[in-house]
Amino acid sequence: MHLELTPVETVACCSPLTREPLSAAEADGIAPLLRALADPVRLRLVSLVASHEGGEACVCDLNDAFELSQPTISHHLKVLHEVGLLEREKRGVWVYYRARTQALENLAAVIGGRTV
């Protein structure tokens, strides 16, 4: 129950980039989402989670997919979670992440010029 809107919640309200000029406020809302995605490791993390069976993936699996330290992966997951692109769920000792596909679709709609 939080009142602060994550960037992901602010993106569903904009018409496509190519239809009419984005307002400064809209751009400020969308940019953090893109910045979160604009890293090769985070792109692959989102892709790994989203395409994983069940739509979710355990951090333990994600760590093995990269030749990066565990804190680094944890940091990237946090960035994606804070911006609202990934959901977190702790089950026992393990943490599972799930992609918000609706958020990705909304973002794509703003960039690509299609209506959702």
Q: Count the neighbouring beta carbons within 10 Å of the beta carbon of residue 14.
A: 20
Residue 64: CA atoms inside 13 Å, Cβ hemisphere, count? 4
Interatomic CA distance for residues 28 and 95, integer angstroms: 31
- Does position 68 interact with DNA (CB under 7 A)? The reply is yes
Token pair of 57 as six digits: 């993936």
- Does position 27 interact with a copy of itself (CB under 8 A)? The reply is yes
Instruction: Classify residue 57 by burial, with Cβ atoms within 10 Å: 0-12, 13-18, 19+.
Output: buried
- Does position 47 interact with a copy of itself (CB under 8 A)? The reply is yes
- Contact partner at residue 89 from DNA, a copy of itself, none, CB < 5 to 8 Å by partner kind: none
Residue closer to a copy of itself (CB basis): 61 or 90: 61
Identify the bridge partners of residue 57 per DSSP, sorted by sequence position.
Answer: 97
Give the 3-state secondary structure of residue 97.
strand
* From 4-12, 69-77, 87-95, 97-105, span contacting a copy of itself (CB under 8 A): 97-105
Residue closer to DNA (CB basis): 70 or 101: 70
- Contact partner at residue 72 from DNA, a copy of itself, none, CB < 5 to 8 Å by partner kind: DNA
Binding-site member from 78, 101, 111, 112 for DNA (CB under 7 A): 78
Give the 3-state secondary structure of residue 78.
helix
The footprint of a copy of itself (CB under 8 A) covers: 17-22, 24, 27-28, 30-31, 34-35, 37-41, 43-44, 46-48, 50-51, 65, 99, 101, 104-105, 107-109, 111-114
